[in-house]
Amino acid sequence: IAPTSASGAQPSDQDNWDNGRLARGQQLLTEIVLRNKLTTLVFDGDTTCRVLEQVLLRSYGVQTQGVDNGMDAIALIAFGAKFNLIIIKKILPIMNGLEVTRQIREIGVRCKMLVTACSGESER
C-alpha cells in the first residue's frame, strides 16, 4: 500500500525527488563501512572542525582517531597505527598539511589521503 499525502492523494515524484536512492546509498555505505571496519585519521588544529568530522564519520560506522597537529599524526603512524583514510587540513599548527602528507608517504603509508581547506584565492 503506497503512502498518501494529507489530502489523501498519492505522493508525486516531486515529493520523492530521489525515489529512495539517497537512503539506499546511505544504507549501502554503512554496510560497506561495517563489513570492512574502515578507520580514518582526522587531523585538524581546529577542535570544533575535527570533532564535527569525526562525529560525521562515526555516524556511518567509521572508526576515527583525531589529532590536532602534524607531528602527532606522524608519530602515531610511525608507531604503527594503520588507517584506510587520512583527512588532513592544509593549514595546521607546527607543520602544514602538505609537508605532513610528504612525510607520511616517506614512512611508506599508501592509504588514501585527503588534504582539505583552500582558504584563499591563490590556493585554489
Q: What is the DSSP letter of 9?
A: P
Distance separating the N- and C-terminal Cα atoms of the chain = 51
Query: What are 95's three cell numbers?
Result: 607543520
Q: What is the pLDDT at residue 1?
A: 46
| Residue spans per domain, the chain | 39-116
SS3 state of residue 114: strand
- Work out the burial of residue 72: count CB atoms within 10 Å of its CB; fewer than 13 is exposed, 13-18 middle, 19 or more buried: middle
Q: What is the DSSP letter of 124?
A: -
Write out the chain's pLDDT in tens, 124 residues. Answer: 444 445 555 555 555 666 777 778 777 776 766 677 889 999 888 889 899 999 999 988 899 999 988 888 899 999 999 999 999 888 776 788 888 899 999 999 999 998 886 554 554 4
Residue 9 CB contacts under 8 Å (≥ 6 apart), including other chains? none
Q: What is the pLDDT at residue 23?
A: 78
SS3 state of residue 101: helix
Q: What is the pLDDT at residue 26?
A: 75
Q: How far apart are CA 92 and CA 98, in angstroms?
A: 10
The CATH code belonging to domain 39-116 is 3.40.50.2300
